[in-house]
Structure 1
Amino acid sequence: MHRQIKIEPNFKQHPAILELDISMVLTSRRQPPAILEPAMAGSQAASPSSHLHVVVFPWLAFGHMIPFLELSNRLARRGHAVTFVSTPRNAARLGAVPPELSALVRVAALELPQVEGLPDGAESTADVPPEKVGLLKKAFDGLAAPFAQLVAEACAGGKDEVAAFSRKPDWIVLDFAQNWIWPIAEEHEISCATFCILPAAFLAFVGPEHENAAHPRSTAEDFMAAPPWIDFPSTIAHRRHEAQAIAAVFRPNDSGVSDMDRFWELQQRCRLVVLRSCPEAEPRLIPLLTDIFARPVIPAGLLLPDDVVGDDDAAPGGDQSFSAAVRWLDEQPRGSVIYVALGSEAPVTAEHVRELALGLELSGVRFLWALRWPFGHSGELLPDGFERRVAGRGVVRAGWVPQVRVLAHAAVGAFLTHCGWGSTVENLFRFGHPLVMLPFVADQGLIARAMAARGVGVEVTWNEDDGSFRGDDVAAAVRRVMVEEEGVELARNAGELQKVVGDNPRQERYTDELVEYLQRYK
């Protein structure tokens, strides 16, 4: 029988894509569910020296795998063993685990089954157009059997040559999509936790199954208002074009099941819900989530990126071609450049790219643009003569861009972003740059509205019916942040927010407190 599991001690190097006390988390107007009471009542807090073995299993998207890996590294730094589960190609494309953690973090690479209609070699959402992601989920469901084999072998105990991994797993930390994991975990009596890499605002918006049953939503208009279980003023609502996309999350896709049904089934079975967030970043939401989901909702902190490496830093695989862009940045005045990046998976079209280019040209502002080619597009993309007209004040980089390093550069003064949670965390809460916001899907619009309400960014004006935008609207937003007097206040607000949210010792304490929960409720 062909063996589908490959255990490796570390990730391979490859040119990659690359003030609330914790006790308040359990503050609730509603009692915890009965299924948790016996486990809680019988649990004893583990000693600080009690080490865990945690199986970590993200969905096949780099926006999910990277924060899952960062959480894994942080657990390992606290002495806990982590088995990180993915597929061979994704494991190869992720950066290497720091050498000092290589004895405590390993990857289990499971072969992704073939599914008709899914491109050969596709193992992540970065490999497929948006309309094929449902097929990727169908293939992902095929990992149930090899994952069950992996867990059974891990539970056999005493067979692993590395002592840290010879013990039965204490936890499986999983993503939204693996509704087939809980029977495996139940068979082996392993606790499960859901790790949500999206902001608390998105989780609050979608809500639990029982609230959606009591307050059903089906039309776009239903998703354009805050749901009734959010009982305080908020910005948690979608614009029309966003609402149309969100409504699709509640309908079955090519895998035969909706994303929300997957999540709700998992949420009802998992003992803890873990958030990549904190109360300083998203006030009032964590107690609300603990209430409506009737589970402890635990902030792991923002998992802020590590310190930036030196100027001799190279791209993965030895690519030195970014050095010219670094030299250009070095020549620019302090705070004069806007960094432009729309993430690795936002559904950006060729028309979006052309209007964005026009807007950057019209703005007259210095920029460094990490340009991602739209999926499936071939031929010319930028407007004729664009690079010649912006020469000297604008750099377009279509290859690898070390985003954290760019954001740390003194020449960068703002960030034009799709408002993915990962990018928002990396920029605003790590470096305190104000935002020009161009959200596309899912949580991005909620993040943009929340950041605008906090006075740290400006959203580009959209056509709310079809989700299009114009170059002159991009230019106007860029100038508001980079040129006009309003930008001074936005920068000040962003800096003040960064001082609070980017407090590293406080962020580390959130992870410490998460570990305490994992030790107590295993």
Structure 2
Amino acid sequence: MNMEKIHVIAIPYPAQGHVIPLLEFAQRLVKHGIKVTFINTEVTHKLVTSTWLEKDDFSDLMQMVSLPDGLERWEDRNDLAKQTEAIFQTMPAKLVELIKTINKEDDSKITCVIADISMGWALHVAENMEIRRASFWPASAVALASLLSFQTLIDDGIMNHDGVPLNDNIFQLSPTMPPIKPANLSWACIGDLATTKIVFQAIVEAAKAVIKTEWILCNSSHHLESETFSHFPQLLSIGPLLASNRLAKQAGHFWPEDSTCLTWLDQQPACSVIYIAFGSFTILDQAQFEELALGLELTNRPFLWVVRPGITKETTVTYPEGYMDRVGSRGRIVSWAPQQKVLSHPSVACFLSHCGWNSTLEGVNNGVPFMCWPYFADQFQNETYICDIWENGLALKKNKGGVITAEQIKSKVNQLLSHTTFKDNALALKEKAVSSIRNGGSSEKNLNNFIQWIKEKENHLSS
């Protein structure tokens, strides 16, 4: 059989935490001889390709293309309501045009669309064009289960038809699954009421498309979320999807990585460094930013802090007066870090994180305990896993004024690192997560079954 005839489209939601895992999955497909057209929005495409230095890692079977998202270049893409509406109005027709062009000009026609569930409209496009389709979810299985259970949550009076929580009563999707606070549902904690309504309607449409796909692939592990996968058997684990698991360099970053921090880490004692990173969306006000800076200073421990562009509301990041002189070489601050390499470094003691799912998996995969500082979306549910279920981390809590104080940061870091229980639990969880992607592991089996499905369908079509 001519493997060039196997050609799939992969389309992520235009956010850092969505692009990286789907691009990693696409590279797994390429290694099995499957051609992939990876579609980003124009803005995301420019960011990804500008930081993509290891181009040779992608063979001729991978091509990166872009589509407009419906917004002008100067418009705020952190406005999720505006971005969601613009994408829905613009991208479906553009995707149809692209598929028609590929099918006309390329020797290998598109035979499967793999769409991020947050881009569920792409699944409708594939269905209308009679193309096979698979759903991809870059976050936790429990977050996806919540999304797919939207009608049950409405019927049970947990939220209204706009996705707005109706009470504060903690619930569970099944008696053995993690507890969820209604206000922490991923669509209910991403902005104001108008944003919640718009994003929730997009989720409803996505859920309708997902349930008609033959595959619902989740970047998680059965070992990490056994109860959720048992209660929702239609969800298939294929994670953790990390470049480090295939001994490769991670691709898909929006900002250039500062690898000089690895040399600095080499100079630090084993299990001594606090690593601080808040992902691509978190925004801190100036007062909270300074409190964090002072908290790191108070720990009197070495720290590696990722202060990305836009992490504060101010145009220029401002540190407390005399801060740099006081922390000196004990603190290393970079704009973006090669996170998987950092977390695997023996000098790292703990991870102060926003608890995005990619960061959560990367910390778990390296046996690093967490300090949890969630910002929005599914991050609060991930914090529940870390603090209450896996018990490999501690939560930072805001005071009555809504601030996480420097004293609390110091206290929680000391608590985390002075008790071996957290590190022991982190190492035990690491072994479980890593076993999933080894030969014979549950995620590895699901991934291989999916690849075989694609090839079998192609054999059927070409026979």
Shorter chain as normaliser: what TM range?
0.7 to 0.9
Conservation of the 8 A alpha-carbon contact between 2:143 and 2:378:
yes
CA shift at 1:322, angstroms? 4.7
Q: Give yes or no for the alignment of 1:137 onto 2:84.
A: yes
CA shift at 1:284, angstroms? 1.5
CA shift at 1:343, angstroms? 0.8
Counterpart mapping for 1:24-39 below 5 A: none
Indicate the residue corresponding to 2:142 in structure 1.
201
How many Å separate the matches in 2 of 1:351 and 1:332? 30
Q: Give yes or no for the alignment of 1:500 onto 2:432.
A: yes
Counterpart of 1:278 in structure 2: which amino acid? S
Q: Which runs of 5+ in 1 are unaligned?
A: 1-46, 161-165, 291-295
Counterpart of 1:194 in structure 2: which amino acid? S
Counterpart mapping for 1:88-127 below 5 A: 88-94=42-48, 95=52, 99=56, 101-114=58-71, 120=74
Q: Give yes or no for the alignment of 1:60 onto 2:23.
A: no
Identify which range, 97-106 or 355-364, moves more after superposition: 97-106
Q: How many percent of aligned residue pairs carry the same amino acid?
A: 23
Structure 1's 377 and 200: CA in aligned 2 closer, same or farther, altered over 3 A?
A: same
Conservation of the 8 A alpha-carbon contact between 1:113 and 1:143:
yes
Q: Give yes or no for the alignment of 1:176 onto 2:111.
A: no
CA shift at 1:77, angstroms? 0.6
Counterpart of 2:102 in structure 1: which amino acid? A
Counterpart of 2:21 in structure 1: which amino acid? P
Counterpart of 1:511 in structure 2: which amino acid? L
Indicate the residue corresponding to 1:44 in structure 2.
none
Q: Give yes or no for the alignment of 1:414 onto 2:350.
A: yes
Q: Give yes or no for the alignment of 1:148 onto 2:93.
A: no
Q: Alpha-carbon deviations, 1:6-30, whole Å to 9, x = none?
A: xxxxxxxxxxxxxxxxxxxxxxxxx
Q: Give yes or no for the alignment of 1:261 onto 2:204.
A: yes
Indicate the residue corresponding to 2:281 in structure 1.
345
Indicate the residue corresponding to 1:428 in structure 2.
364
Conservation of the 8 A alpha-carbon contact between 1:176 and 1:196:
yes
Aligned length: 443
Structure 1's 515 and 195: CA in aligned 2 closer, same or farther, altered over 3 A?
A: same
CA shift at 1:318, angstroms? 13
Identify which range, 337-346 or 384-393, moves more after superposition: 384-393
CA shift at 1:243, angstroms? 8.3
How many Å separate the matches in 2 of 1:258 and 1:318? 31
Q: Give yes or no for the alignment of 1:360 onto 2:292.
A: no
Structure 1's 224 and 243: CA in aligned 2 closer, same or farther, altered over 3 A?
A: farther
CA shift at 1:224, angstroms? 4.8
Structure 1's 146 and 458: CA in aligned 2 closer, same or farther, altered over 3 A?
A: same
Indicate the residue corresponding to 1:186 in structure 2.
127
Counterpart of 2:97 in structure 1: which amino acid? Q
Conservation of the 8 A alpha-carbon contact between 2:112 and 2:131:
yes
Conservation of the 8 A alpha-carbon contact between 1:299 and 1:514:
no
Indicate the residue corresponding to 1:86 in structure 2.
40
Structure 1's 202 and 167: CA in aligned 2 closer, same or farther, altered over 3 A?
A: same
Counterpart of 1:434 in structure 2: which amino acid? P
Counterpart mapping for 1:405-484 below 5 A: 405-429=341-365, 431-452=366-387, 453-463=389-399, 468-482=403-417, 484=418
Identify which range, 359-368 or 336-345, moves more after superposition: 359-368
**Larger helix fraction of residues:** 2
Counterpart of 1:514 in structure 2: which amino acid? F
How many Å separate the matches in 1 of 2:392 and 2:2? 39
Conservation of the 8 A alpha-carbon contact between 1:205 and 1:236:
no
How many Å separate the matches in 2 of 1:256 and 1:401? 30
Counterpart mapping for 1:2-81 below 5 A: 52-81=6-35
Q: Give yes or no for the alignment of 1:396 onto 2:337.
A: no
How many Å separate the matches in 2 of 1:195 and 1:405? 25
How many Å separate the matches in 1 of 2:296 and 2:195? 39
Indicate the residue corresponding to 1:282 in structure 2.
225
CA shift at 1:247, angstroms? 8.2
Conservation of the 8 A alpha-carbon contact between 1:308 and 1:404:
no
Give the TM-score of the pair, scaled to structure 2.
0.84
How many Å separate the matches in 1 of 2:117 and 2:272? 40
How many Å separate the matches in 2 of 1:479 and 1:470? 14
Q: Give yes or no for the alignment of 1:332 onto 2:268.
A: yes
Structure 1's 335 and 225: CA in aligned 2 closer, same or farther, altered over 3 A?
A: same
SS, match of residue 225 in structure 1: coil
CA shift at 1:335, angstroms? 0.9
Q: 1:300 aligns with which of 238, 241, 248?
A: 238
Conservation of the 8 A alpha-carbon contact between 2:178 and 2:384:
yes
Indicate the residue corresponding to 1:512 in structure 2.
448
Conservation of the 8 A alpha-carbon contact between 1:252 and 1:259:
no
CA shift at 1:242, angstroms? 7.4
Structure 1's 319 and 345: CA in aligned 2 closer, same or farther, altered over 3 A?
A: closer
Conservation of the 8 A alpha-carbon contact between 1:419 and 1:439:
yes
How many Å separate the matches in 2 of 1:105 and 1:440? 34
How many Å separate the matches in 2 of 1:249 and 1:54? 37
Q: 1:226 aligns with which of 155, 171, 174?
A: 171
SS, match of residue 20 in structure 2: helix
